A and B are shown apart, each in its own frame.
Chain A
Amino acid sequence: DAGITQSPRHKVTETGTPVTLRCHQTENHRYMYWYRQDPGHGLRLIHYSYGVKDTDKGEVSDGYSVSRSKTEDFLLTLESATSSQTSVYFCATLDDSTDTQYFGPGTRLTVL
């Protein structure tokens, strides 16, 4: 398994508060991703990064921003959390030598 950690693993917050989720990898993979997973929708891509300071939007990027100042860290920020952002968030990296994605353990976020 790739060394991917996510923090926090669980968070409960209130509507309107800012939230930052962190993803950390030890594999030196160039590509990193943030997904959310909701019943009936599967995994949906929020943002991804193809290098330090290089990011792009996914299919559900509204209300989210990301930053990647170091290869190993990819941050996801909800500037003002809403109840519709209650979800499980997964971070992933891509081993582009094998085209295989590796996922972190997930963060369960509840916005009240």
Chain B
Amino acid sequence: RKEVEQDPGPFNVPEGATVAFNCTYSNSASQSFFWYRQDCRKEPKLLMSVYSSGNEDGRFTAQLNRASQYISLLIRDSKLSDSATYLCVVNPNNDMRFGAGTRLTVKP
């Protein structure tokens, strides 16, 4: 079983749609959690950290459920520019572990 598992996707949605990505992790000792975004042939970049209480940044909402070892990312009012691969990242001990990523394509 992989340490971090994500919805395989791809997700193809129209502009304005709401889309949700899920992620589960196996190491219960994990201390911090993140969503990264990666554009085609580019390096990953931090989208947002995920806090226990849940957090929101504009159209993006991240949730963490420690008991179920589950992380989610919700994107509201999708834009064409949201098209990318979204990576779930878990940090058990400063050796970050990445999910394989979920590809999102937002279409006009």
Contacts and interface: CB of A to CB of B under 8 A. Distances in A.
Interface string A40-67: 1111110010100000101100000000
B57 interface: no
Given A41-B100, A43-B87, A94 B94 contact: yes
Interface in B52-94: 87, 89, 91, 94
Contacts of B49: 99-100
Contacts of A41: 100
A106 B87 contact: no
Nearest to A35: B98
B17 interface: no
Interface in B17-59: 32, 34, 36, 42-46, 49
Chain B binding surface SS class: strand
Given A99-B32, A101-B46, A42 B94 contact: no
A101 B98 CA distance: 12
B97 interface: yes
A103 B101 contact: no
Chain A binding surface SS class: strand
A106 B94 contact: no
Contacts of A94: 94, 96
B43 A90 contact: yes
The 4 closest A-B pairs by CB, nearest first: A42-B100, A103-B43, A43-B98, A42-B98
B30 to A, nearest CB: 12
B100 A104 contact: no
Contact of B46 (A40, A58, A100): A100
B95 A43 contact: no
Contacts of B46: 100-102
Nearest to A58: B95
B43 A45 contact: no
Nearest to B87: A42
